[in-house]
């Protein structure tokens, strides 16, 4: 279970200081996502969760298992963000609410009438689209939305890298796993 | 462990300190504090007392010299108790080996530092320490003030910038265009941190508050757009916010789709490697190692993500190590060891070799759920 450092129990002075620390600390956080250390942490946690999922649902329900894996991967990503960003908090807190309408996911398209409208409208629409893509950022101001989006993109890239290497390793060693008990008998 | 044994009251108090730490300090803050401590205290050599506790000091992020100071500190005051003004009493037997008091004192010190950093009481702490000092505690005030100065400094710096920005914002409207010659706002990096914005008007631009605020807002947005453009590949050439936003949205959708595909693939690839059947995999790898003789390079390369190394071996550098999860060690580790022994798969390169008689003997002795590494070690 993710261990969360919460602000709820600290005094007002601490909350203020935490907010200042948050603001100063939020800035370099998009840079932290590409380190190897974060990726290793993420991979190891993902392996643990994979094992657990494997053990808990041994039936061949590929669809449910893949969805569970995806949600677990997103949750681990949010935990890795240490809860300082809105999208990570949104992922962690509203997972139980979003099970119903996670499918189907249709493609987002721009309404064509927008081309005739003014430029700020277009921008606002696109900002809305982006806010719907990034979890928990639907009604945010534009600069905060951009900040959240940058952090989210960095986190997603790290996630894709980690999962790709994990699948490569697992499929590679899975390809070689041919147990031959008679081979090594003396 | 010795620290828990040393002070019964201390452990309870350190528990509360720990909760305070988690509530008030962030992770990076702790790390940066520790790094700062390590950096700003010069290396003054090690003493034989720290040989045992050196790893512990490294864990704490404190310097070994501090352990020496603490040792010196605690020695004269052992009879009379602590004069640190500390409510809890630390009872540690000084007749024990010298690493014990240093550990307890280092815990004390570490918790006090972190508590002081959280509660901004570091002047009190640093003054308490030198109050104990006698003649030969000259390194003590030298290392304490830079240590204690840092934390109030860092906190003071934020307050200073806050005050300066607050002081300057009333003068925002007073800036004239003639005075500022093409200079951007110097406090622009502070825009994101602080609630007040200090913007200077450039030459030839309007100075009313609306346009200034708008310009500040635009600068913020442009700064973040630049960050995003760097992040998304192929976006730096595009000019214009709308197209950049298009690219960003496409990139986010692409990444999310990739995550879905990868998760499906992970779900699909698993049946081939049963994690309970990982022992088959490992025995196969072992066999490959014995067959080839220079296998471990390949083994390490392929199993790097799955199998993490735990260094239990001293002189066997070609042996791979399995990272055994706590939940499953009892479960499949015994199976694995059984399989390994059954197939007589042992890593080549051991000096004496392993005749089957000793292997079975080793397994019998290890039947009580020893971890894999120690079991193999006993057979080598």
Kindly state whether residue A129 falls inside one of the protein's structural domains.
yes
In whole angstroms, what is the distance from residue B6 CA to residue B10 CA?
A: 8
Higher pLDDT, A17 or A106: A17
Residue A169's pLDDT is what? 84
Query: B284 vs A179: CB contact, 8 Å cut-off?
Result: yes
Q: How far is B46 from chain A (nearest CA, A)?
A: 30
Query: B245 vs A127: CB contact, 8 Å cut-off?
Result: yes
Kindly state whether residue A78 falls inside one of the protein's structural domains.
yes
Kindly state whether residue A127 falls inside one of the protein's structural domains.
yes
Which tokens go with A36?
A: 């190897």
Kindly state whether residue A12 falls inside one of the protein's structural domains.
no
**Is the C-alpha dihedral spanning A76, A78, A79, A80 positive or negative?**
positive
Provide the number of structural domains found in chain A. Answer: 1
Higher pLDDT, B129 or A15: A15
CB A30 within 8 A of CB A84: no
Neighbours of B186 (CB within 10 A): 10
| Residue-range definition of the domain harbouring residue A58 | 32-158
Longest distance between any two alpha carbons in chain B, whole Å: 95
CB B256 within 8 A of CB A74: no
pLDDT in tens, B112-140: 555 554 444 444 444 444 444 444 444 44
Burial A43-81 (b: 16+ CB within 10 A, else e): bbbbbebbbebbeeeeeeeeeebbbbbbbbbbbbbbbbb
The CA R_g of chain B, rounded to the nearest whole Å, is 31
CB B236 within 8 A of CB B229: yes
Neighbours of B207 (CB within 10 A): 17
Write the CA distances from B139 to A120, B1, B39, B58, B214, integer angstroms: 64, 30, 16, 19, 54
pLDDT in tens, B207-234: 788 899 999 988 988 888 888 888 888 8
Residue B107's pLDDT band (boundaries 50, 70, 90)? low
Higher pLDDT, B237 or B321: B237
Nearest chain B alpha carbon to A69: B263
Instruction: Please state the pTM of the whole predicted model.
Output: 0.45
In whole angstroms, what is the distance from residue A22 CA to residue B344 CA?
A: 56
Q: Which residue has the tokens 């807190």?
A: A93
Which tokens go with B326?
A: 């706590």
Residue B237's pLDDT is what? 87
Q: What is the mean pLDDT of residues A119-145?
A: 85
CB B177 within 8 A of CB B170: no
Write the CA distances from B370 to A51, B110, B281, B284, integer angstroms: 22, 35, 21, 22
Please tell me what DSSP assigns to residue A80.
H
> Of the candidates B217, B248, B275, which has its C-beta nearest A149's C-beta?
B248
The CA R_g of chain A, rounded to the nearest whole Å, is 21
CB B189 within 8 A of CB B224: no
In whole angstroms, what is the distance from residue B125 CA to residue B373 CA?
A: 45
Query: B342 vs A181: CB contact, 8 Å cut-off?
Result: yes
Residue B256's pLDDT is what? 92
Kindly state whether residue A120 falls inside one of the protein's structural domains.
yes
Kindly state whether residue A5 falls inside one of the protein's structural domains.
no
Residue B255's pLDDT band (boundaries 50, 70, 90)? very high
pLDDT in tens, B282-307: 444 444 444 444 434 444 444 444 44
CB A131 within 8 A of CB A116: no
Query: A50 vs B270: CB contact, 8 Å cut-off?
Result: yes
Query: A126 vs B245: CB contact, 8 Å cut-off?
Result: yes
Kindly state whether residue A133 falls inside one of the protein's structural domains.
yes
Most B-contacting residue of A69, A151, A175 (CB-CB within 10 A), to test interface: A69
For chain B, give the percent of residues with pLDDT over 90. 5
In whole angstroms, what is the distance from residue B189 CA to residue B179 CA?
A: 22
In whole angstroms, what is the distance from residue A182 CA to residue B117 CA?
A: 63
Phi, psi of B27 (to 5 degrees): -65, -45
Cβ-Cβ contacts under 8 Å for A72 (sequence gap 6 or more): A46, A49, A50, A53
Q: How far is A133 from chain B (nearest CA, A)?
A: 7
Could you please report the per-residue DSSP string of A135-170? TT-TT--HHHHHHHHHHHHHHHHHHHHHHHHHHHHH
Could you please report the per-residue DSSP string of A36-104? HHHHHHHHHHHHHHHHHHHHH--S--HHHHHHHHHHHHHHHHHHHTTT-SHHHHHHHHSTTTSSGGGS-
Kindly state whether residue A176 falls inside one of the protein's structural domains.
no
Higher pLDDT, B197 or B374: B197
Residue B353's pLDDT is what? 42
Residue A35's pLDDT is what? 79
User: A186, A115, A135, A10: which is closest to B25 by C-alpha?
Assistant: A10
> Of the candidates A55, A149, A180, which has its C-beta nearest B228's C-beta?
A149
In whole angstroms, what is the distance from residue B380 CA to residue B376 CA?
A: 6
**Is the C-alpha dihedral spanning B97, B101, B104, B110 positive or negative?**
negative
In whole angstroms, what is the distance from residue B154 CA to residue B160 CA?
A: 10
Which tokens go with B263?
A: 């998760």
Q: State the Cα torsion B342-B343-B348-B352 to the nearest 10°.
A: 40
């Amino acid at each position: 279970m993710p261990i969360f450092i919460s602000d709820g129990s600290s005094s007002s002075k601490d909350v203020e200081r935490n907010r200042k620390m948050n603001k100063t600390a939020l800035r370099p956080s998009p840079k932290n996502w590409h380190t190897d250390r974060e990726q290793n942490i993420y991979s190891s946690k993902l392996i643990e969760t994979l094992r657990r999922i494997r053990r808990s649902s041994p039936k061949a329900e590929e669809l449910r298992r893949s969805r569970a894996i995806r949600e677990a991967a997103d949750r681990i990503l949010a935990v890795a963000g240490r809860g300082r960003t809105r999208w990570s908090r949104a992922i962690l807190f509203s997972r139980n609410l979003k099970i119903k309408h996670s499918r189907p996911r249709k493609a987002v398209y721009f309404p064509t009438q927008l081309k005739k409208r003014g430029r700020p409208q277009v921008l606002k629409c696109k900002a809305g689209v982006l806010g719907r893509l990034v979890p928990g950022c639907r009604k945010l101001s534009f600069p905060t939305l951009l900040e959240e989006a940058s952090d989210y993109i960095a986190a997603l890239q790290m996630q894709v890298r980690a999962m790709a290497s994990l699948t490569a390793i697992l499929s590679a060693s899975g390809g070689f796993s041919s147990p031959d008990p008679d081979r090594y008998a003396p | 462990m010795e620290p828990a044994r040393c002070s019964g009251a201390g452990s309870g108090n350190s528990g509360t300190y720990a909760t305070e730490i988690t509530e008030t300090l962030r992770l990076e803050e702790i790390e940066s504090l520790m790094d700062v401590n390590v950096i700003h205290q010069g290396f003054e050599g090690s003493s034989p007392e720290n040989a045992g506790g050196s790893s512990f000091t490294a864990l704490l992020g404190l310097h070994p010299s501090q352990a020496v100071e603490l040792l010196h500190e605690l020695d004269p005051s052992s009879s009379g108790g602590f004069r640190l003004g500390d409510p809890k009493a630390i009872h540690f037997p000084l007749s024990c080996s010298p690493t014990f008091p240093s550990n307890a004192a280092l815990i004390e010190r570490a918790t006090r530092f972190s508590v002081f950093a959280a509660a901004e009481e570091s002047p009190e702490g640093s003054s308490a320490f030198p109050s104990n000092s006698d003649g030969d505690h000259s390194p003590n005030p030298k290392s304490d003030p830079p240590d204690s100065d840092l934390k109030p400094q860092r906190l003071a710096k934020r307050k200073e910038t806050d005050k300066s920005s607050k002081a300057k914002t009333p003068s925002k409207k007073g800036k004239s265009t003639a005075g500022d010659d093409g200079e951007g706002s110097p406090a622009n990096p502070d825009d994101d941190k602080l609630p007040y914005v200090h913007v200077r008007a450039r030459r030839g631009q309007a100075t009313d508050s609306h346009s200034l605020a708008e310009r500040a807002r635009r600068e913020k947005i442009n700064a973040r757009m630049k960050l995003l453009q760097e992040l998304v590949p192929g976006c730096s050439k595009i000019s214009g916010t709308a197209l950049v936003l298009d690219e960003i949205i496409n990139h986010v959708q692409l990444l999310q789709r990739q995550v879905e595909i990868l998760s499906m693939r992970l779900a699909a690839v698993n049946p081939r490697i049963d994690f309970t059947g990982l022992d088959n995999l490992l025995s196969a790898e072992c066999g490959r190692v014995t067959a080839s003789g220079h296998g471990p390079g390949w083994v390490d390369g392929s199993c790097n993500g799955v199998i993490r190394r735990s260094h239990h071996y001293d002189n066997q550098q070609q042996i791979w190590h399995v990272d055994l999860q706590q939940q499953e060690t009892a479960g499949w580790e015994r199976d694995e060891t059984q399989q390994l022994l059954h197939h007589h798969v042992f890593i080549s390169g051991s000096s004496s070799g392993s005749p089957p008689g000793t292997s079975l003997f080793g397994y019998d002795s290890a039947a009580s759920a020893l971890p894999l590494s120690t079991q193999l070690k006993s057979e080598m």
